[in-house]
Structure 1
Amino acid sequence: MRVFTAALATETNTFSPIAIDKRAFEASLYARPGEHPLTPTLCTAPITVGREVCAREGWTLIEGSASWADPAGLIARQTYEELRDEIIEQLRAAMPVDGVVLGLHGAMVAQGYDDPEGDFLAAVRDLVGPDVLVCAELDPHSHLTAKRVAAANFFVAFKEFPHTDFVERARDLWAIAVRALKGEVTPVMSVFDCRMIDVFPTSKQPMRGFVDKLYALEKSEPQVLSLSVIHGFMAGDVPEMGTKLIAVTDNSPGKGAALAESLGRELFSMRGTFMVRQVDELAAVDAAIAAPRGPVVIADVWDNPGGGTAGDATVILAELIARGVSDVAVGTIWDPIAVHICFAAGEGAEIPLRFGAKSAPLTGDPIDKFVTVRKLVPNAEMRFGESFAPFGDAAWISFDGIDVILNSTRAQSFDPSLFSVMGIDPRSRKILLIKSTNHFYDSFSRIASEIIYCAAGKPYPNTPATTPYRKAPRNIWPIVENPWG
């Protein structure tokens, strides 16, 4: 067997002012054929897992390019087309192939393309023809369009949020692909539109129980190969935004359709109950101060670079400063200019510095402080499960009992190693202020005495009922109360 694999992925917040070109991919991951590292990024596990599977099966794996950019705004049209065409030409050179196994995100939007993944998958299908297996792993925070479903044999999405399972789901993807290529199964995909958009953390009920039910059904139901929830991505203003259910069966489309609808309607019945309680910055700081011990984690949930925002909001930090709170570590504030200044000044320097709140309105005001540059780390990385997430050149600065990590490559706060790689012991601080909606939970919950979810400022379109969508469907909850009426 000859199988082609590649990855092309990012998550696009169409409301974000941060434009994306090829440099953004190069800052996060751009690997030409055969150059992908041993560890995967969030959306490139099909490549690393494919190496293991094809070596075991004695098959030939042909690797194309792998590109991943940290979430931001619209991708430049030329950049998307260049990256797409690069992979298509690699696939053309690899022909004939028996299968194509891809790593995608699913929430990419480019200038002139509401559905780049649909465009890309259609180009793949046009090239390989109707009989070659085409499948992909998706992030659940994506848009499942009819064009994508028509072009692919099947999709497998991460089940967990935080996405701790992206390698396991790549293994599921490959396991189905191997069985299909050997003629043991015929994967058929059934999709149900849940007519809603919500946030579904699996770190709490009811989504924890729902996902556990999916795992159980995959094991117990005959003909069921995979079940996935496409959560949808509410910051993507595209025509097919929303939550979907995917059932992949062994040539049982009727069973798949019935199961997808049953599960989808069950999910809809629990709408509005999934997200954790959030408080404003005043209540968050009150609770952190009152906590008997640390570290208390304050998660700035909507200034989350993982959702396409800048990650430079200062609303919560300003409240901590105003209250005179100390023993605080902040990870991170994105400010490449401030990082450049710190690197020029050098470790140990004491300098006046303005940082943060440069990207957008309603994210606070820049912070002006006389700071000490404690440590400088070029090309810093933190852990994220089996992967590493770069956050660029980074500077640890301190003032008034507060430590702040400034970074040059936007990245959400995945793991406490964000602090330790900079020389800060996260367990020793009373308060840790981080930027993430829920991906932080798996790792930070292991050291936190308490976690506070804080909604501060308005850097992210987090209220679909009032978000000024131009393209998104209007007949979904909570835009309308009863989309089934």
Structure 2
Amino acid sequence: MTSTASGRRPRIGIGGMHIESSTFSPHRTGYDDFRITRGAELLDRYAWTRPDGDLAGRVEWVPLLHAVSLPGGPVEPGAYDRIKGELIERLRAAGPLDGLVYDVHGAMSVVGLEDAEGDLTEAVREAIGPEALISAAMDPHGNVSRRFAGRLDLITAHRLAPHEDAWETRERAARKLVERLASGKGRPHLAWVQIPVLLPGERTSTRLEPAKSLYGRLAAVEAMDGVVDAAMWVGYAWADEPRCRAAVVVTGDDPVLAVEQTRSLAREYWEMRRDFAFAGPTGGADECVAEAVASPARPFLISDSGDNPTAGGAGDLAYMLGRLLANEDLAAGRATALHPGITDPAAVSECFAAGPGATVRLSVGGGISRGTADHAEPCELTGEVVALRRDDPVGGDLAAVRHGGVTAVLVSRRKPFHTLADFGELDPRGYDLVVVKLGYPEPELYDLAADWRLALTPGGVDQDLARLGHRRLARPLYPFDDEGFEVPHLEPLLL
């Protein structure tokens, strides 16, 4: 497999910048929030670069730089410029490349920029040159502007939500690029269209219809003669930018077929826009807590969706803790609840100073968000320190405090709780209720929960989009506009 008549192996770079950023979150993402990998460590990140893999000896992989952060607020300009600058410098220093595996999310916001991925990709294209092929692997909760897509040659996205196929998507992007270089066919046609619909990910899970069938169509489209790949994005609902909306891109050597399939997918998405439902039963915070306490299902999981750090929430809101403590059965210890992941480094320090078994009086939460809204105010918590843990790789120092039947786990750094391992010695299976800062549960928690509710709580990633106050979206846009909304012109462009 070669990319040139001389028989040399294709030289393919690997790099990118991966984060989703809520512009409604008071959190700001700095340079130290990113995990940056380079060199051999970057190659070790991917299975398809291994020396014992089937691509070994057929491709010269050139590791550049990859930066990834837990979702959060917009990236600080200095952090973005520093990472972008190093990526571009490494691209130029790498010498001539035949291609680039471009590992990005698609929902990065940077303070002062309107289309961060568009800006980054323009710089990448200029550095790598017009002849090299760029193959992007993305999250379907990203945004695909014309400015961004027009600088790419291949583009694909996860087809499952939750994203159990995230690594499969990256491998697909790499293998499609290798195949393309081997064929000598050059750049395929990209048929691109945006759809005036913007829904939160919790309403577009592929566990349910219509997303299950829509995304299920993509593999069949990809298999058509003349098509290289088919991808669909729901967009990112918690950024207030004109690019935020759903999109479809079909790449192929047959431009007519690519346009035809893009149009078909986009029209089906539009026609089904009102059919998208939340991934599980929903309710207000107090309603969900009352249902959970009354239910015989154990453990009963509640998602504190408005402050979900894996979607960009600040992670410091104690709103749900307050609602748990307000429930008489939980406060009295007649029922038990575990609520991990409230970010408050000062409260954690107080717990460590007091020590295990001590009674502490804490003002919990709101370190970042305080003063932004009523729901961002701290929650007063008096209780016993029941567990302490130092140096969690993600959450830093952790402290568990129990009041009545409610155990709150406080973290010094923003940390999602997705798996049983995240909970450490506090086994969630031993509690009646488990409240996590999450949207739809990831597979391990989904399997654990005897029942669950999606609490429509306030925060930087509020599921009730109307409460957030978007001002800069391109309108009209469903569900912000509905009545009198004319059928949009969904004619794809060939980029």
Query: Is the structural similarity TM-score above 0.5?
Result: yes
Instruction: Rate the CA distance shift 1:333–1:237 in 2: closer, same or farther, 3 A.
Output: same
Query: Amino acid of the residue matched to residue 407 of structure 1?
Result: V
Query: Amino acid of the residue matched to residue 271 of structure 1?
Result: R
What secondary structure is seen at the aligned counterpart in 1 of 2:41? coil
Aligned equivalent of 1:229: 232
Match of 1:281 among 285, 292, 316: 285
Aligned equivalent of 2:242: 239
Mapped to 1, the partners of 2:380 and 2:466 lie a distance apart of: 36
Instruction: Rate the CA distance shift 1:119–1:67 in 2: closer, same or farther, 3 A.
Output: same
Match of 1:340 among 344, 349, 352: 349
1:87 is the counterpart of 2:87? yes
Mapped to 2, the partners of 1:101 and 1:185 lie a distance apart of: 18
> Which aligned pairs between 1:23-422 and structure 2 lie closer than 5 A?
23-25=32-34, 29-36=35-42, 38=44, 47=46, 49-51=48-50, 56-183=56-183, 186=186, 187-199=188-200, 200-219=204-223, 221-249=224-252, 251-276=253-278, 277-324=281-328, 325=330, 326-358=335-367, 359=369, 360-363=372-375, 365-380=377-392, 390-419=394-423, 421=424
What secondary structure is seen at the aligned counterpart in 1 of 2:307? coil
Mapped to 2, the partners of 1:364 and 1:19 lie a distance apart of: 16
Assess if the C-alpha contact under 8 Å between 1:31 and 1:66 holds in 2. yes
Query: Amino acid of the residue matched to residue 206 of structure 2?
Result: T
Per-residue CA shift, 1:292-348, capped at 9, x if unaligned?
130000011121112222122233322221223131111221112212222333344
Match of 1:429 among 428, 431, 437: 431
- How much does 1:164 deviate? 1.4
Unaligned runs of 5+ in 1: 41-46, 382-389
- How much does 1:196 deviate? 0.9
- How much does 1:57 deviate? 4.0
What secondary structure is seen at the aligned counterpart in 2 of 1:445? helix
Structure (1 or 2) with the larger CA radius of gyration: 2
Aligned equivalent of 1:44: none
Aligned equivalent of 2:473: 472
Mapped to 1, the partners of 2:89 and 2:43 lie a distance apart of: 22
Assess if the C-alpha contact under 8 Å between 2:310 and 2:416 holds in 1. yes
Query: Amino acid of the residue matched to residue 296 of structure 2?
Result: P
Q: CA RMSD in A?
A: 2.2
- How much does 1:184 deviate? 6.1
- How much does 1:484 deviate? 2.5
The number of residue pairs the alignment matches comes to 462
Query: Amino acid of the residue matched to residue 122 of structure 2?
Result: A
Query: Amino acid of the residue matched to residue 433 of structure 2?
Result: I
Instruction: Rate the CA distance shift 1:432–1:467 in 2: closer, same or farther, 3 A.
Output: closer
- How much does 1:461 deviate? 4.7
What secondary structure is seen at the aligned counterpart in 2 of 1:68? strand
TM-score by length of 2: 0.88
Assess if the C-alpha contact under 8 Å between 2:22 and 2:460 holds in 1. no
Mapped to 2, the partners of 1:289 and 1:332 lie a distance apart of: 21
Query: Amino acid of the residue matched to residue 443 of structure 2?
Result: D
Identical aligned pairs, as a percentage? 26
Mapped to 2, the partners of 1:483 and 1:110 lie a distance apart of: 33
Instruction: Rate the CA distance shift 1:209–1:396 in 2: closer, same or farther, 3 A.
Output: same
Per-residue CA shift, 1:360-386, capped at 9, x if unaligned?
4242542323333233223325xxxxx
Mapped to 2, the partners of 1:347 and 1:48 lie a distance apart of: 43
Instruction: Rate the CA distance shift 1:343–1:181 in 2: closer, same or farther, 3 A.
Output: farther
Mapped to 1, the partners of 2:340 and 2:251 lie a distance apart of: 40
Query: Amino acid of the residue matched to residue 12 of structure 2?
Result: V
Per-residue CA shift, 1:201-226, capped at 9, x if unaligned?
1122221222222233333x222222
Per-residue CA shift, 1:127-172, capped at 9, x if unaligned?
2222111111111111111111111102111111111110111111
- How much does 1:408 deviate? 2.2
Mapped to 2, the partners of 1:66 and 1:380 lie a distance apart of: 23
Match of 1:16 among 25, 28, 53: 25
Assess if the C-alpha contact under 8 Å between 2:24 and 2:468 holds in 1. no
Aligned equivalent of 1:385: none
- How much does 1:118 deviate? 1.3
Unaligned runs of 5+ in 2: 1-9, 489-495
TM-score by length of 1: 0.89
Instruction: Rate the CA distance shift 1:112–1:366 in 2: closer, same or farther, 3 A.
Output: closer
Mapped to 2, the partners of 1:56 and 1:37 lie a distance apart of: 12
Assess if the C-alpha contact under 8 Å between 2:25 and 2:459 holds in 1. no
Mapped to 1, the partners of 2:259 and 2:173 lie a distance apart of: 20
